[in-house]
Each structure stands twice: as C-alpha cells, then as structure tokens.
Amino acid sequence: MGSLSLSQEIAQQSNKVPTYFSTEDSSSLTALLEQNPFKAQAAEVKAILAKEHLIESSRIEPEVDWFYCKLGIDSTYFELTPTLVIAKHILSLYAAKMISHATGSKLEVQLQSKTEGSATFITPSNPGKRDSPAMAIEQLIESQYFGEGYHQDVPSITRPAPTQLSPHGYRLVCYRTTGTVSKDAPIHLRLYYLTKPRFENPEAADNETDLARVADVNFLARATDQTKQIYQEIMNEVVSKLGPVIRHYPHQQNGARLVVAYRRGSTHSYWSAMSELYHYHHLYATHKDVEQFSNGIVIYSIYLRPLHPEVDINTLINKIAEQSHHTHRSMMVLILLVTYAYVGWKFAYQFLNRYATEYSALAQAIGDDSTKQAMLAQLKTRLSKDTFTEGRVRDAVLQYPELIKILYTDFERFHNRTAGSPAPYDASHGADIIAQIKRAVNNELDSQIFTAILSFNRHLLKTNFYKQTKTALSFRLDPGFLSLAEYVSRPFAVFFVVGSEFRGFHI
C-alpha cells in the first residue's frame, strides 16, 4: 500500500484525530447547517474548495460546516465577505492546521484580505495576554486604518501594503468567535472587518451634533435605537470638550459596554492604549466597534467581560474609566511636550549665535570693505553651523529631558489660555531657569542650546500652540533676540511656522 499524503492521513485517522481538526458528528453538523441562514453560501464555498483540490474531499464538508455552525463567527462577516474570500479563509485556516499537525507546533493563524475600501484580519484571540497576535493586528489597524498610531515594531508578516487612508479613518467591527477552531482545541479567533465610511454630509461642521447628519449611512441603517441614543448623548457632550467622554453601561450578565468618544487627532495611540488597559485589569473584549463621524468625532464601543468569571466586573470597570481619562491626559501632555521640544530644537539650530563678540570685533576691524565683510559673514555662518549642527542640537535636547520639561512649563505658564489667565509678557524672566541649566549640563555648548530655547520663550508674543484646530503651528516673536550685528535694521516681528512637512521663518 502506497504512502498516504498528509491530507489523506488526517482524513483517515479514526483512533487518534489531530487536535485542531473538526471531529463533530457529520450528521449533527449537517442538521445545524440546514437551519443556518447562510447554508446556500456555504454550498458555494464547498464547490469552490472542491474545484481547488487543495483539501482532501472528505474533509471539505466537516471543515466548512464547522466554520459556519460551530466556530461562532458573527453574521456580519458572512453578510459582508465575498464567497471566494470566505473560501480562501477556510483554506488558510486548514493550511495552518496542517502545518501544526506536521510540525507539532502551536496553531498560527494570520488571515488577511484587502479590497478597495475594506480589509479583513483574522487572528487567534488570547485573553489576558498583552503580547497576543491580536495586539499586533490592533496596532497595525490603528496606524494604517485609523491614522492615529505609530508602531514601527509591528511585525512585517502582519503588515499589508500601505493603504490609502480615508480622511475620516476607517470604521471597524471586531468580533471574538464564541466557538473554537475544533471540538478539542480551545482556540478562539478574533475577526476585524474595516470599511471606509460613507456620509451623506462628508464635510460637516466641527460643532455639528445631529447624529443623522454626521454618521455613516450603514451605521444609521443597522444600529439599534439604544446605540443611537447613547451615541447622540455622547456626541452632544464631546464636540465641546478637549478631552474624551467615557461612559459605561451594563451588558448582559456580568458584562459591561465601555463607550469612548474624542475628537479625531486630539490624541495618539489611544485605541491600543485602551486594549492595554483592560488587559491589565484581566478583562477581555467580546465585541468592539469603532465609528467615524464626519464632524471629526470618533466613538468606540468595547464590550467587556472578566477573564475570571467569578470576578464582579463592576469592581473593575470604574477603574478603567478613571484611568482612561488619565491615559488621555498623560498622552496629551506627552504630545505637547514632544512638539515643544521639536520647535525648540529647530529654533535653537536656526538662531544660535556662537561667535557674536568675535564677529563684531572683526567686522569693525575690516571696516567698509564689502568683499571682506561678505567673506567674514560666510565664515561665521559656516563656523556656527559646523558647531551647532541639527544633530548636535537634537542630541542635547534628548540628553536632558528634564530641562525640556522645565522650559515647557515656563512656555505653558505664559501662553496656555486654556489653563487660566497666562502670565504677562516678560522678556527678562527666567534667571532661575538659567541657573538650573548651568547646574544640569556639563559643557558650554549645551548651555548655549538650552539658553537659546529659553530665549524663544522670553520673546514669544503670540502662538496658536494651544488652539484646538490648526493646520500648522505659528509663533510670533519679538525681534529682540536677533543680533544687531546681523540684523542692522530691526524687523517689526519674526514669524516661525511649523507644519507636518515644513518649517520656516518670516521677518
């Protein structure tokens, strides 16, 4: 008798069936499929797989029937996913089982498909494990489909080709299967389905609150009245707030629905931070929705359950809501601090004046010889830039984060109107900060770099740094910090503009 293929071996084994393969009685699965609303679709999937000849014919029936009847995938998946894609997912899942059977390794499932305007990801769900494959998928989604995360360490195996991001981000529906990959394998899957939103009014005003005018058309058609009421109440509140609105509601037995809303772009990596937070508290999500609205608001619904059923979820959910606010505030402060550090870095590089005294003495000695004066000016520029390269200034900023925090606090005291009345303009303030700089740094170059950043604070008259909506950062400075030797005619003002892809000065 000839040797059997791996697929035939799996099909014919009776005494010792591989853990990951369906072993349910075929008649019971057939009976369940007869009652399944997608049985016609399942028949099409079986026909596609039979034509491919990649699964042993005797295994097609149980694998497809289990996928439809026992795996416990939400009906939304079957409603929205093309039949051919479902067949590919079943084939990929079967291939993963084959590899596990052949090598004795754990089941590795990473299914993904992408079409114009949509994407699907399927991965194992490991509740309570913050390093699970699902976390890597969520970081990828946050970065490439929400446009809010920055995760360079996402494994390349899970990273699809860059997608054209919708200006409003993508909508997301995420489900955890209620069943497992087979009768004997306690492995659940998590499915993520993303679509571009479709709005009747795609350019709604930022302060528009009417859900019917700002919501995706599919959301309006499919959402329950209860969900619409909850979202409307939250929308009315969040449009006028800088921070998030967080609410929680009971859901089924010992479950909770956590609803989070904020303005798109007001935070960074918040989606993945929320996942980290509830995993930390030993909760897992059975279902997640992310809705994008055309007024710039994002709303999450996360349906949570305790990892240990004996734990009362009410003892945990309040902690999560409280810490979610703290997470947002901490991230906002960090973002502002990093932005300020970047601005200070670029300002210091542009205006550091290392050789002012020597330059003035030489310029006077040369007199009115324009040719020599031009050569001297060129030499000074080269010497300054060679000494204070952008990399050198950046390294100093990174080396002394505590000084950046001190300088940012000083900056905030004079210009953050959202925190109360700012301190009056004072170009001579900061003697105590200079003393702290001299104590902290260990060389004269670093001292000059941080003193230059303090000079930026001292001479800043006006900025949109703390405005809620802006296309670029703008700073108007008193020209008092400019060297009289280099700027003989004192300008009226200096404007410093920083955008996502540019920076510039205007005098």
The tokens describing 389, both together, are 């390269």
Q: What are the pLDDT tens digits along the chain (507 aa)?
A: 445 443 444 344 434 444 566 556 667 888 888 899 999 999 999 999 999 888 888 889 989 999 999 998 888 889 878 899 899 899 988 888 888 878 877 777 788 888 888 888 988 887 766 567 788 888 889 888 988 755 444 444 344 444 455 677 899 999 899 888 877 777 888 999 999 999 999 989 999 999 999 999 999 998 999 999 999 999 999 998 877 888 888 888 878 899 999 988 776 677 887 887 788 778 888 899 999 999 999 999 999 988 887 877 777 776 666 655 555 555 556 678 888 888 999 898 888 755 455 555 566 667 676 776 666 566 555 555 555 677 888 888 888 989 999 999 999 889 887 767 788 888 889 999 999 999 999 888 889 899 999 999 999 999 998 887 677 889 999 988 887 666 667 788 889 998 766 778 887
Residues in the chain: 507
* Model pLDDT, residue 303: 92
Helix (H, G, I), strand (E, B) or coil at 201: coil
The tokens describing 390, both together, are 């952008």
The tokens describing 97, both together, are 């089982």
- Are 70 and 179 in contact, with CB atoms under 8 Å apart? yes
DSSP string, 418-455: GGSSPPPP-TT--HHHHHHHHHH-SSHHHHHHHHHHHH
* Model pLDDT, residue 11: 45
* Model pLDDT, residue 363: 60
* Model pLDDT, residue 371: 73
Distance CA 165, CA 18 (A): 42
Distance CA 334, CA 44 (A): 53
Residue 483: enclosing H or E segment and its boundaries? none
- Nearest-10 Cα torsion for 137, 141, 143, 146: -160
- Are 59 and 27 in contact, with CB atoms under 8 Å apart? no
Residue 181: CB partners within 8 Å, gap ≥ 6? Answer: 20, 71, 93, 97, 107, 109, 187, 188, 189
Distance CA 85, CA 79 (A): 12
The tokens describing 216, both together, are 């995706």
* Model pLDDT, residue 442: 86
C-alpha 390 chain-centroid distance: 28
